[in-house]
Structure 1
């Protein structure tokens, strides 16, 4: 029947959104809380991220007829979990989000800046990413020993699904967590129905060098290096010519506009993008845009569950929530380490970048990610001079 919407890309879009949301929304809430957001402010951030992701995916997909999937920066959320000491006040984190959005916008308008970011050696960028992720990826191990009764069933389900249904491993672990928490709490959430509804909460930004250098700059670098650049490469891999300038400009402006409500970063999807852009979405490349548009619609609907998601996570022990976030990031950590250590030339610099980022050190108001990138660049120069 002419004009009929095929079911295959619609199903792919639903899977993209469900997997993308369920695998890392806990990390988003944890990251925002780590930089000083209240529960309501974190819920506001999750809501605005979902709305902007959905709106951009729908508009870009319809406008360019390409499967342009939009996501929040999962590595960026991991960065926020260790950046609380860089703010001291949530207002400074919001200011950093605004600056990050402006940097992303300028990157879309000024191609030379995007070339500078792209010139950062891949080994250093992925070493930095791996170092940021490592502390969170240790959480499942720690929780298994400290909360075995709650954590071991979750790990068992996750490991089983990694064997038989890989893409559903983290969502399955999350569902198991909710069951375990419900049993542990006796089904009592300890909150009223009104708390389940997401509400917009705006915060006036404040600007300080510590937050700008410790959050805005590494958040921008990690988002470009681990989300936007790989996202563009993936679309090209599947035969598309993505509109680079409009995508970067739109995501930057959206980040800037939603920053006051906790929207720390939106960008091209990299981790889940293949679900909508690959052949599993539809044999015909010209029809796969339906998958990303469908994912956009689903993200908007999922955003309306932000309040309920936060209530469920508030009921769970914090260590268990961190364990779920860590499980979701393990594949990304493995990929980052593999890329960082792939080539023998420059491997020492990548390792230095990784260990400094993982150390969590902070000096002169500058956090570990910035020191890690600087140390890696210096080490790369030293090794090259031998």
Structure 2
């Protein structure tokens, strides 16, 4: 047992380098800025106290960080843990109609639903059956907002965003020893500080002990929160993360990812947090080329991200005012630069073959549209729409019975 631990520590230390450290740090910065503001705003609009808001942040960041640490070390893949950002938007609206205890009960039910789907293996079977090009089209559509956000940031703050892009390009060309994304972030952050763009908010700051929440169960809350939230965790976060990993050449443990996302949702509900699950955007950053050429070592970026997430959760009451002071244009520009590799590889995987082209196109545009039906976000409907379109007009592209048998063998091997 000690030899195994020693091997784990040795492998991790050998893969902790400037590339994995910078990618993991960037993923944490992204996750701890804009998304945190959504939670803070949702807590305020829902009438939660400052202590309840901090407990919510503690739950999703601390346990999300632990989830990423566990999955990355267990499977040696860059599987990041966090929470559903669309889920936070969903919950923010629901808190105006339900008490925190009723919402916590719905979070608990959502976690149980996700757990059951993972344990039964149903999600793995579905993901293996869905054509890969359609999944890749969904990834591009869902993630393209990071690329467009980089350009809109250039319009809003040309000096900060422009310097980040320019330094990234020059660093990619001439300073290959230093990760381009790290150079871009450092220079643009210094410029933002010089231009006095870091604005401290008026939120209270201080160490706060997380509060336990006793869930109560309401049929209305379960229908309004639990079912949509479970679908978001599966259809948005896990699907995005799985697609990104497949696009980068990994074989993600889909059923295990779903199972642990369900467990994370159950645990966070006891602290008023809406879920802790595998996260699409953070996985994309940590799995990207920015995390280094050695794909088998990119899981170390998630270790860095997970540690920073957990610390942020533990010290949420103290660090939130400082982190949220970071200019939004800085975060969106650097996040867009980090997504370049993921978007390019996903586009290649989506349209490099002749099969499922129309279905993939529909998956792309549905995900790009940002539509939301029944409080379920676009990535889920992108996969549903893409598969339906291909089934109607590209049915001959789906596997034959013999090919399905081969896929079943692959499922059994990866289980």
Match of 1:284 in 2: none
C-alpha distance 272-212 of structure 1, shift in aligned 2 (>3 A)? same
8 Å Cα contact 2:205/2:319 also seen in 1: no
Separation in 2, partners of 1:355, 1:244: 25
The CA deviation at 1:86 is 8.4
Match for residue 111 of structure 2 among 101, 108, 116? 101
Residue 31 of structure 1 pairs with residue 45 of structure 2 = no
8 Å Cα contact 1:108/1:247 also seen in 2: yes
The CA deviation at 1:212 is 5.5
Match for residue 226 of structure 1 among 211, 228, 240? 240
Separation in 2, partners of 1:98, 1:54: 19
Aligned length: 368
SS in structure 2 at match of 1:375: helix
SS in structure 1 at match of 2:80: strand
TM-score by length of 1: 0.71
Separation in 2, partners of 1:109, 1:257: 17
TM-score by length of 2: 0.67
C-alpha distance 38-344 of structure 1, shift in aligned 2 (>3 A)? same
Residue 9 of structure 1 pairs with residue 12 of structure 2 = yes
SS in structure 2 at match of 1:344: coil
C-alpha distance 272-321 of structure 1, shift in aligned 2 (>3 A)? closer
C-alpha distance 146-355 of structure 1, shift in aligned 2 (>3 A)? same
Deviates more, 1:110-119 or 1:302-311: 302-311
Tell me the alpha carbon deviations over residues 180-221 of structure 1, each in whole angstroms, 9 at most, x when there is no partner: 3322228774669x7375764778798365655665414312
Match of 1:183 in 2: 194
The CA deviation at 1:146 is 2.0
C-alpha distance 135-198 of structure 1, shift in aligned 2 (>3 A)? farther
Residue 22 of structure 1 pairs with residue 23 of structure 2 = no
The residue correspondences of 1:305-384 to structure 2 (distance < 5 A) are: 310-363=320-373, 365-384=375-394
CA RMSD of aligned residues (A): 4.7
Separation in 1, partners of 2:208, 2:165: 30
Tell me the alpha carbon deviations over residues 280-303 of structure 1, each in whole angstroms, 9 at most, x when there is no partner: 75xxxxxx9999878765654465
Deviates more, 1:115-124 or 1:317-326: 317-326
Separation in 2, partners of 1:183, 1:104: 46
Match of 1:285 in 2: none
Separation in 1, partners of 2:345, 2:105: 31
Match of 2:409 in 1: none
8 Å Cα contact 1:13/1:295 also seen in 2: no
Separation in 2, partners of 1:280, 1:148: 37
The CA deviation at 1:354 is 1.0
8 Å Cα contact 1:150/1:320 also seen in 2: yes
- Please list every run of 5 or more consecutive structure 1 residues that lacks an aligned counterpart in the other structure: 282-287
Match of 1:137 in 2: 147
Match for residue 168 of structure 1 among 158, 179, 183? 179
Deviates more, 1:119-128 or 1:345-354: 119-128
Separation in 1, partners of 2:368, 2:386: 13
The CA deviation at 1:142 is 1.0
Separation in 2, partners of 1:199, 1:212: 26
The CA deviation at 1:22 is 2.1
Separation in 1, partners of 2:333, 2:133: 27
C-alpha distance 351-293 of structure 1, shift in aligned 2 (>3 A)? closer
The residue correspondences of 1:111-122 to structure 2 (distance < 5 A) are: 111-122=121-132
Separation in 2, partners of 1:188, 1:96: 36
C-alpha distance 84-9 of structure 1, shift in aligned 2 (>3 A)? closer
Separation in 1, partners of 2:241, 2:31: 16
